Amino acid sequence: MYARSSSLPPRYVEYSRREPSGASLTAKASLLPPANVDWKAVVADSRFQALHKKKTRFLWGLMVFSMAFYFLLPIGAAYFQDLFRVKVAGAVNVGILFALSEFIVAWTVAAVYATRANREFDAMAAEIICDAHNIK
């Protein structure tokens, strides 16, 4: 897992991680784009393509899950009214609990994305940024 270092100036970021073999890897990257970079070559680079593919696949999965869960509420309210009317405690019923669970799911999806981005996507991007001026 990469850990962000805060000892660098604000426009730089440093990621370091320990490999299963015990080796320590560190990547330092400027938050500003490097000068004289061939951006078409960066986009064509296999590491960038791998990052884009991984991130896109992950985000599509999160989006499909989120949309499916979101639309279960109006579908359930329309077609499963008897289930949504079941009282849980006092005036609280299954429909209200399901509606409130939408907030929990939204925060969970955000936390899952942030964790994965910090652990994997940011490290991959930092490596590409560090080597961007060498990519031809």
- At 55, list the tokens: 């991130």
The chain-wide mean pLDDT, for the chain, equals 84
Separation CA 81–CA 75 (nearest Å): 9
pLDDT at 2 over 50: no
pLDDT tens-place string over residues 13-54: 566 666 666 666 565 555 566 667 888 898 999 999 999 999
In a domain, 70, yes or no: yes
- What is the model's pTM? 0.69
Q: How much of the chain is helix, strand and coil, in % rounded to 5?
A: 60, 15, 20
DSSP state of 2: -
Range of the domain at 78: 37-134
Q: What is the mean pLDDT of the segment spanning 61-90?
A: 95
In a domain, 12, yes or no: no
Separation CA 103–CA 50 (nearest Å): 32
Neighbours of 51 (CB within 10 A): 19
Q: How many domains does the chain have?
A: 1
pLDDT at 7 over 90: no
In a domain, 107, yes or no: yes
Question: Where are the alpha helices (H) located in 80-121, listed in sequence order?
Answer: 81-84, 94-116
Residue-level pLDDT at 72 = 95
Q: pLDDT band for 132, please (50, 70, 90 cuts).
A: confident
Residue type at 84?
F
Residue-level pLDDT at 113 = 96
